Chain A
Amino acid sequence: MKFAEFLSRVKTMDADEARRWLDEKPEGSYTLLDVREPEEYEEGHIPGAVLMPLSELPDRLSEIDPQKPVLTY
């Protein structure tokens, strides 16, 4: 783990870990966030991902439930 990750409590997963994590979690217990642009989202996204482009993120943070873990890509 990098020092910056340790400080920010952000854990990085690879795709296999992410898939296992999603499979194990009950539906509704997490937020899956797609921070790309709408055109990229429509080319293909992980099922259930909520689109919140990085450019909009600062204004839309209140839409994310702080009680749930967030998986973002």
Chain B
Amino acid sequence: MKGGIDAWNGLVSRAEVDQGMFLIEGDERPEEVIALAYGLEAATYRFYQDLAERGSDRDVTDAFRRLAQDEIRHQESLWEKYRTITGDGKTREAFEAETVTKTLENGKTADQILAEYPEWIDHPREALELAMSLETDSLDLYLRVAQKIRHKEAASVFHDLAGEEKVHLKGLGQVLRQKLRSL
């Protein structure tokens, strides 16, 4: 690419080289990858839900609430995929108990993210930038994890989720642009 990163006019991730990569070895089976993705989505759902309840700006809390709802939708679809692939009679509760993680989709914990953005709560712009940063890092992690996974079907789980993150980023960008115009 001509001009390298200095010429790049899109979002960038500042994730460290191995950030979140401890989550996989590379030889996971599809059902293991689905369980991992489910846990990441669940942790991110809790994070967005928490932000939606604590935020002070209506547009921003609405955006966080929509993102939280999307994470639930992703979890539903992952659960369906898990059942189709394994065909076992495991209950949703038993499955969820195995997928609990504190790590969010971007490979960090909620505490780590909030420590980086202490001022988000009273500032809509910072809150939206926090969400965009999280989604950018999530996109980055999902694509890099997919690259590392050797099983094709398993990798496609993360490619699909990466596509969803791109949609989130576009939506957040629209809210941010509207907000900047009104500030």
Contact = CB atoms under 8 A, between A and B. Distances in A.
Given A12-B2, A28-B156, A19 B10 contact: yes
Contacts of B156: 28
A27 B159 contact: yes
A15 B4 CA distance: 8
Interface string B13-51: 111110000000000000000000000000000000000
Given A27-B162, A42-B17, A47 B1 contact: no
Q: Interface size for chain B: under 10, 10 to 19, 20 to 34, or 35 or more residues?
A: 20 to 34
Given A27-B143, A27-B159, A28-B155, A44 B5 contact: yes
Contacts of A46: 5, 8, 10, 12-13
A28 B160 CA distance: 9
Nearest to B3: A15
Interface string B108-152: 000000000000000000000000000011011011101100000
Contacts of A51: 17
Nearest to A48: B143
Interface of A: 12-16, 18-19, 26-28, 31-32, 34, 36, 38, 40-51, 71-73
- What 4 pairs between A and B have smallest CB-CB spacing? A48-B143, A44-B12, A27-B159, A47-B140
25 contacts: A13-B1, A14-B3, A15-B3, A15-B9, A15-B10, A16-B9, A18-B1, A19-B8, A19-B9, A19-B10, A26-B159, A27-B159, A28-B156, A34-B5, A36-B5, A40-B5, A44-B5, A46-B5, A47-B12, A47-B137, A48-B143, A48-B147, A48-B162, A51-B17, A73-B4
